[in-house]
Amino acid sequence: MQKNLRKNPNVVTKPTKENLKELIAEHQPQLKSFISKRVASKKDAEDILQDVFYQLTKAVNTTMNPIEQVSAWLYRVTRNTIINAGIKKREDELPVYDDDSDSDVLENFSEILFHEEETVPSPETEYLRSLVWIELEKALSELPPEQREIFELTELDDIPVKEIAESTGVGVNTLLSRKHYAVLHLRKRLAGLYTDIISS
């Protein structure tokens, strides 16, 4: 018969390397039921349960921040893991945008903004550059901070999306989604200026 260490609420069992397997066996059924009621996929539930016990094992094997009440700790970690898994799942399910299709937002202005073939740019070129940069800055200032940041990093600083994802911890798909909305806004805002330039 399996021991029920939670029968007496006054008894607190501290996790140690010696009783770790026993604690996992004791709490597994309750945690599995707890997770299954909050997660649709059986596979996701299993992954979350394994992650929780991995975190318990990791915590027991370190001397920092010892766990005083294992049951309360496990349920707190489980809730947080479920929340984090839900956030990641929603991000992964966002529409996938082709980065290449968004990378041409400045194509129409590239010759004006970045062309350095002329040793001494003409006054007209300098004026157009200034005008485009001013309008681009205005359009960027209208964007939410996270959309502006990903656009500037990829288009102006030429940093790959994967590199940004690794340094920020934000998923590639989420970053591409933010950039896509930024591009839509900028195309709309700069369309009139481009029309004025080519028709002048």
49: CATH:
1.10.1740.10
DSSP code for 95: P
Whether 128 and 186 share a structural domain:
yes
In angstroms, what CA-CA distances link 108 with 125, 194, 198?
14, 7, 10
Residue 65 is predicted with a pLDDT of: 61
Residue 10 is predicted with a pLDDT of: 36
Domain end residue (candidates: 71, 92, 113): 92
Is residue 9 in a domain?
no
Whether 41 and 60 share a structural domain:
yes
Letter for the amino acid at 31? L
Whether 88 and 72 share a structural domain:
yes
Domain with 187, as residue range(s), is 99-199
- What does each of the 200 residues of the chain score in pLDDT, given as a tens digit? 344 444 443 334 566 767 788 888 999 999 999 999 888 888 888 999 999 998 888 888 775 566 778 888 899 999 988 888 776 666 555 555 555 555 455 555 555 555 554 455 566 666 767 777 788 888 889 999 999 999 889 887 888 999 999 888 888 888 988 888 888 888 888 776 666 554 55
Number of domains present in the structure of the chain = 2
**Helix runs in the chain, H state only:** 20-36, 42-60, 70-92, 99-102, 110-114, 123-141, 145-151, 161-168, 172-199
Interatomic CA distance for residues 74 and 69, integer angstroms: 9
Whether 185 and 122 share a structural domain:
yes
Domain end residue (candidates: 92, 113, 144): 92
> The CATH number of the domain where 169 resides is what?
1.10.10.10
